[in-house]
Amino acid sequence: MTEHRILPARQAQLSAASLKANLPEYHSLLTFYEQLFIAQESSKLQTALEPIVIAPEVLQVKHRERLPLVAMTEFVFDAAAGRELLAEICDILRESENEMASSAERIAHAAGRKLEIDSLFRHLLDGDDAYFDETAGSIGCDKKALAFVAYHSLRPSLMVCAEQLATYLKDRTEWKSGICPVCGNLPAIALLDKEGRRSLSCSFCWHEWPMPRVYCPFCNSTDGKELNYLYSETEKTLRVDCCEKCRKYIKTVDARSADRTVYPPLEQVASLHLDMKARDAGYDSGIPLHLPDE
């Protein structure tokens, strides 16, 4: 069976098992994210959404001006699936060793009472920072924990929207840009597939788009002399691509050297040692990390 035929939830489970064996220091973090990603993948299968429609004349302008298809505010969500997943994520957090456990307790308690979940999702898409300050204050939870729970409960809807929207990209000429062609956000991680083709995964909607091997997504440099990489002797599947020009880096999963199942979102969280290595070498993460301790 080839890897892409494995169900994503199973892929996350297999990837977590091999990462835990290789990186015992990540055991509790991996257990938490494994449960989170499996819950999201199964929620995604239940997520029903009417596709977002882009009028032909609008699409023409987006293509011509090389703009992403939609803004974050235009995403739609399956409120029922999102509410159910939010309760599940709060349960996973409460039972974990995660520092967000007590905030999750408060969020779960407030859900459907003080906290109106549909409105939470809407404010997340609107990027309404003041709402998160105010709501976290009124519930008595950590603001970052509230944003984390909201984002991860919405993630299956965002992924379904992105998959549907990707059909509008078929006629687009090459998208050589470090921002997501669907939603305009930055990439979370890069992937080199078994054939050595490079792609970037969006940190918001998780759309994957192809990218030349020698290219910095943050400053668009294509100068091979300015693009290096760092890796750890013990884990060749993961490396950090660094740019000398803008001093930013992105982590890359190199599936060519992987003798195990790879699930990129899990690789992204199980590689803090590479973030440290890159920071010690003087590079900045070019991306939002969406980690509980960030």
Residues in contact with Zn ion by the rule CB under 5 A: 180, 182-183, 185, 202, 204-205, 207, 216, 218-219, 221, 243, 245-246
Element (H, E) at 248: strand 248-254
Closer by beta carbon to Zn ion, 37 or else 75: 75
In whole angstroms, how close is the CB of 36 to Zn ion at the nearest point?
19
What gap in Å lies between CA 251 and CA 234, rounded to an integer? 16
Q: Is 184 left (phi over 0), alpha (psi -120 to 50) or beta?
A: left
Closer by beta carbon to Zn ion, 90 or else 162: 162
Closer by beta carbon to Zn ion, 79 or else 246: 246
Closer by beta carbon to Zn ion, 71 or else 276: 71
In terms of C-beta density within 10 A (0-12 exposed, 13-18 middle, 19 or more buried), how is residue 176 classed?
middle
In whole angstroms, how close is the CB of 180 to Zn ion at the nearest point?
3
Is the Cβ–Cβ distance between 90 and 104 less than 8 Å? yes
Is the Cβ–Cβ distance between 44 and 11 less than 8 Å? no
Closer by beta carbon to Zn ion, 14 or else 289: 289
In whole angstroms, how close is the CB of 181 to Zn ion at the nearest point?
8
In whole angstroms, how close is the CB of 67 to Zn ion at the nearest point?
13
Name the nearest CA neighbour of 254 among 269, 267, 266, 273. 267
Closer by beta carbon to Zn ion, 139 or else 243: 243
In this structure, which amino acid lies at residue 156? P
In whole angstroms, how close is the CB of 112 to Zn ion at the nearest point?
30
What gap in Å lies between CA 251 and CA 271, rounded to an integer? 8
Closer by beta carbon to Zn ion, 12 or else 183: 183
Is the Cβ–Cβ distance between 60 and 172 less than 8 Å? no
Element (H, E) at 61: helix 56-64
In whole angstroms, how close is the CB of 64 to Zn ion at the nearest point?
20
In whole angstroms, how close is the CB of 137 to Zn ion at the nearest point?
30
Is the Cβ–Cβ distance between 136 and 142 less than 8 Å? yes
What gap in Å lies between CA 233 and CA 238, rounded to an integer? 10
Is the Cβ–Cβ distance between 78 and 159 less than 8 Å? no
